[in-house]
Amino acid sequence: MDAPQVTFVVFDGFQPLDLVGPHEVFGHAGYRCRIVAPRAGLVRSRSALPVHAEYGVGDVDPAGVDTLVVVGGAGVDEARRDRALVEWVAAAGAGARRVASVCSGVLLLAAAGLLAGRRVTTHWRRRDQLTAEHPELTVDCDPIFIRDGRFWTSAGVTAGMDLALALVEEDFGRDRAHAVAQELVMFLRRPGSQSQFSVPLWSAQPSSDPIRLAVDAVHAAPGDRHGVEELAARAGLSPRHLQRRFTAELGVPPAAYVERVRVEAARRALAEGDDPVDAIARRYGFGTAETLRRAFHRHVGVPPSDYRDRFRSTKEYA
């Protein structure tokens, strides 16, 4: 199979990692990549890093786009008021084999009318805006990426690389995606269902479908019962077999993995919301605030209340 072409859409004020990360993944996999902007020439990123766009929207036939990737960044709010850009994205997306967005790039896809009725994700800081401005969408900002038919949307910055790896795996199989991940020192196949705040860089990834099913169940609902018996039922294995294979594939036993995922979910809740610590403890399977406090000390090194004070932020991002 010849390498498909990936067409990236950028604009002034784009987030550079939304472009560079996926571009590196596709480039290492052998894809042909091109960058399209409202006008050909120099495009300044959100951090002032200049990027040269080889093409303007008037230079590229939208009917020839295979995979369309729209990046995000603070400049997307201005970009989606560019009528020529929005119309080109709409035309390209209508016929493309696949359409994807990174971070707040989903706002440009939505403005182009491509996502009506779809389930989508974006950076969690853009959730309220996307929900309010596009009630025709089902917005779920927990996963790092979501596929709905031929439309793929992802969370902020590095999640775009996970999405790109998933597209490589879809086109060429796991072996090529694995080779790219090794070259870029990435963990292969963070599941799309994984929480934006539950990044298991502390573990390996499952190498078999039964264990992947168990892991996905934990990330999908950290507060549910996830004892060995429940996970074994998910995986279609006996409890003893599940315990042995889980530990071999992920490097930690099931109970330790579940606790770590719950801590990451609680970290998100503490940083993002105002719910009391005891309510967060119950929601994510700790039962009591004291149990959560002990788990936090083991994995984070500070009490939940200190973590909230230290890491809560109201800064705009995407």
225-270 tens-digit pLDDT:
999 999 999 999 999 999 999 999 988 899 999 999 999 889 888 8
Which sign does the torsion angle of CA 193, 25, 104, 61 carry? Answer: negative
**CATH number reported for the structural domain that contains residue 69 in this entry:** 3.40.50.880
Cα dist. 114→119, 121, 150, 274, 306 in Å? 12, 14, 11, 35, 43
Answer whether residue 29 is part of any domain.
yes
Answer whether residue 130 is part of any domain.
yes
Is the pLDDT at 153 greater than 50, yes or no?
yes
13: Cβ–Cβ under 8 A, 6 or more apart, which residues?
44, 45, 46, 73, 74, 75, 76, 78, 79
Is the pLDDT at 191 greater than 70, yes or no?
no
d(CA 15, CA 118): 24
From the list 185, 187, 253, 193, the residue with the least C-alpha distance to 221 is 193
Cα dihedral 300, 140, 69, 98 in deg (nearest 10): 130
Which amino acid is present at 200?
A: P
Same domain for 159 and 291, yes or no, is no
- The string of DSSP letters for 210-238 reads HHHHHHHHHHH-TTS---HHHHHHHHTS-
Angle, nearest 10°, between helix axes 239-250 and 254-272? Answer: 60
**Helix boundaries (H) for 134-253:** 159-172, 174-183, 209-220, 228-235, 239-250
Same domain for 158 and 284, yes or no, is no
Answer whether residue 166 is part of any domain.
yes
- Decide the pairing of beta strands 98-102 and 138-139: unpaired
Answer whether residue 247 is part of any domain.
yes
Q: How many domains are there within the chain?
A: 2
Same domain for 161 and 211, yes or no, is no
Whole-prediction pTM value? 0.65
**CATH number reported for the structural domain that contains residue 258 in this entry:** 1.10.10.60
Same domain for 173 and 204, yes or no, is no
Same domain for 156 and 222, yes or no, is no
- 79-97 tens-digit pLDDT: 999 999 999 999 999 999 9
> Are 104 and 72 spatial neighbours (Cβ–Cβ below 8 Å)?
yes
Q: How confident is the model at residue 58 (pLDDT cuts 50, 70, 90)?
A: very high
d(CA 42, CA 247): 50
Same domain for 52 and 158, yes or no, is yes
Q: Is 286 helix (H, G, I), strand (E, B) or coil?
A: coil
Answer whether residue 60 is part of any domain.
yes
- Looking at 135, 153, 179, the residue that finishes a domain is 179
Q: How confident is the model at residue 187 (pLDDT cuts 50, 70, 90)?
A: low
- Looking at 179, 214, 241, the residue that finishes a domain is 179
Same domain for 88 and 146, yes or no, is yes
Same domain for 169 and 260, yes or no, is no
- 271-301 tens-digit pLDDT: 778 899 999 999 999 999 999 999 988 887 7
Answer whether residue 58 is part of any domain.
yes
- Looking at 147, 179, 211, the residue that finishes a domain is 179
d(CA 114, CA 280): 36
Per the prediction, the chain carries an average pLDDT of 89
Same domain for 173 and 202, yes or no, is no
Answer whether residue 188 is part of any domain.
no
Same domain for 173 and 48, yes or no, is yes
Domain that holds residue 115: 5-179
For residue 33, indicate whether it is catalytic.
no
Same domain for 114 and 252, yes or no, is no
Return the H-helix or E-strand segment holding 27: helix 16-29
- pLDDT value, residue 92: 98
Answer whether residue 191 is part of any domain.
no
Selected catalytic residue, list 60, 103, 137, 269: 103
Same domain for 201 and 280, yes or no, is yes
